[in-house]
């Protein structure tokens, strides 16, 4: 890439990594988007963005119906989240903020180890122990007040992911 190819969002030369802690995340797993109507949102993402429905399920524990939409061959997804009822945290999110981006999820190799490291670094997590996430994954969340206002999900993929 030459300097002429640089944009404000993608520098022409890679930044030199700073000497800091070992990275905890292996990839961006997905971006969660709160929606009112899951079927309508799936159809939109397929028709307009050309995304592919990779997985769909109901997660009673989390109070959501969800769909994982594949973003090309990147391995990353957009997770569409619709509330099952008005007591769902997604329903509360939509009531407060409207539909839209609700979370950023990072893939980790060991959610227990990453959670312990984050706690050692003074970061609050929403759950004392990981919970079941999409497709048998194990998840936890970083409290938004400790992550610059962003709800960060930690995702240890389930078998076969």
Per-residue pLDDT reduced to its tens digit, 40-53: 999 999 999 999 99
Residues 6+ positions from 56 with CB-CB distance below 8 Å: 38, 42, 65, 66, 67, 68
Within a domain: residue 132?
yes
pLDDT value of residue 2: 46
Within a domain: residue 7?
no
Contact 64, 90 (CB under 8 A): yes
pLDDT value of residue 50: 97
Question: In whole numbers, what is the pLDDT of the chain averaged over residues?
Answer: 90
Q: How far apart are CA 28 and CA 129, in angstroms?
A: 22
The range of the structural domain enclosing residue 72 comes to 25-156
Within a domain: residue 120?
yes
Within a domain: residue 115?
yes
pLDDT value of residue 1: 46
Domains in the chain: how many in total? 1
Within a domain: residue 13?
no
Task: Give the CATH number of the domain where residue 150 resides.
Answer: 3.10.180.10
Please give the average per-residue pLDDT across 71-93, as a whole number: 95
- 3-state secondary structure at position 120: helix
Within a domain: residue 8?
no
Within a domain: residue 20?
no
Within a domain: residue 51?
yes
Among left, alpha and beta (phi > 0; psi -120 to 50; other), residue 68 is beta
The residues that bridge with 69 in the sheet, in sequence order, are 53, 78
The tokens of 64 are what?
């959501």
Contact 82, 36 (CB under 8 A): yes
């Amino acid at each position: 890439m030459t300097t002429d190819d640089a944009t404000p969002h993608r520098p022409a030369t890679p930044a030199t990594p700073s000497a800091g802690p070992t990275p905890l995340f292996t990839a961006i797993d997905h971006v969660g988007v709160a929606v009112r109507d899951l079927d309508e949102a799936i159809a939109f993402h397929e028709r307009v963005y050309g995304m592919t429905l990779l997985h769909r399920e109901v997660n009673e524990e989390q109070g959501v119906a969800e769909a994982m939409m594949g973003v090309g061959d990147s391995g990353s997804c957009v997770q569409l989240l619709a509330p099952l009822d008005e007591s769902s945290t997604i329903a509360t999110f939509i009531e407060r903020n409207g539909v839209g981006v609700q979370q950023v999820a990072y893939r980790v190799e060991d959610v227990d180890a990453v959670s312990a490291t984050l706690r050692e670094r003074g970061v609050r997590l929403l759950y004392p122990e990981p919970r079941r996430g999409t497709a048998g994954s194990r998840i936890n969340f970083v409290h938004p007040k400790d992550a610059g206002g962003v709800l960060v999900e930690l995702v240890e993929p389930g078998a076969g992911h």
